[in-house]
Amino acid sequence: MPEAPSEARSAIMRAVKSTNTKPEMKVRSLAHRLGFRFRLHRKSLPGRPDLVFVARRKAIFVNGCFWHGHDCKRGARAPKANAGYWLAKIEANRRRDARARAELAASGWESLTLWECEIRDEKALRARLLAFLAETSSAFPLRRLPSSFETGPSDPPQDEGARPARIPHPEEPRSGVSKDEAGERRAQRRRSSRRARQPRAS
């Protein structure tokens, strides 16, 4: 059985960020500049994707090559200390990632995994984002998303789609009515209301 890492090593590993990493921030910045709006780290979705495009039913994972076991030079690098423990942990991450992608697909979502080593080429990254996000998902086009996948009030402020319709104030004049006319109408309603409340003479 692989030996557990020392407390000092564990503290170093805990300090490694899993969200808001530099590769993720680069993808978010580019997607935003391309005109796409998205949610962040949706806990209600399998794998908690880094970028979630609710209306398109698409999700993007931005993975570090080492921790998620990419087949690139950095991902293939073996840990120098306690290799057995860390390799087992990386393999567990790979199985978890595959399971999350399968669950998303079964729910009618499409997912894209962007690796740390692939993000350095911004031109290629731009092309991949546009190709992935240009069209809405054709899988299960008439299927309604489970309520747990819908947009919720606790989500981060970045949202997809148009701004919500503005709700006028009750005292705001309607279109085509001047402020003076609207004020006179309100005064008439108040006078009528007061007369209606006054007791009638017997």
In this prediction, residue 101 carries a pLDDT of: 98
**Do the beta carbons of residue 49 and residue 91 sit within 8 Å?**
no
3-state secondary structure of 112: strand
In this prediction, residue 153 carries a pLDDT of: 38
**Maximum pairwise Cα distance, the chain:** 101
| pLDDT, tens digit only, all 202 positions of the chain | 555 555 554 555 444 556 889 999 999 999 999 999 999 999 999 999 999 999 999 999 999 999 999 999 888 887 888 888 889 999 999 999 999 999 999 999 999 999 999 999 999 999 999 999 986 555 444 344 444 444 443 344 444 544 444 444 444 555 555 667 777 888 888 888 777 777 666 5
In this prediction, residue 165 carries a pLDDT of: 42
Full set of structural domains in the chain with CATH: 13-149 (3.40.960.10)
In this prediction, residue 4 carries a pLDDT of: 54
DSSP string for 11-75: HHHHTS-SSS-HHHHHHHHHHHHTT---EE--TTSTT--SEEETTTTEEEEEE-TTTTT-SSTTT
Tokens, residue 98: 């595959």
Q: Which residue has the tokens 């993808």?
A: 27
In this prediction, residue 48 carries a pLDDT of: 96
In this prediction, residue 188 carries a pLDDT of: 85
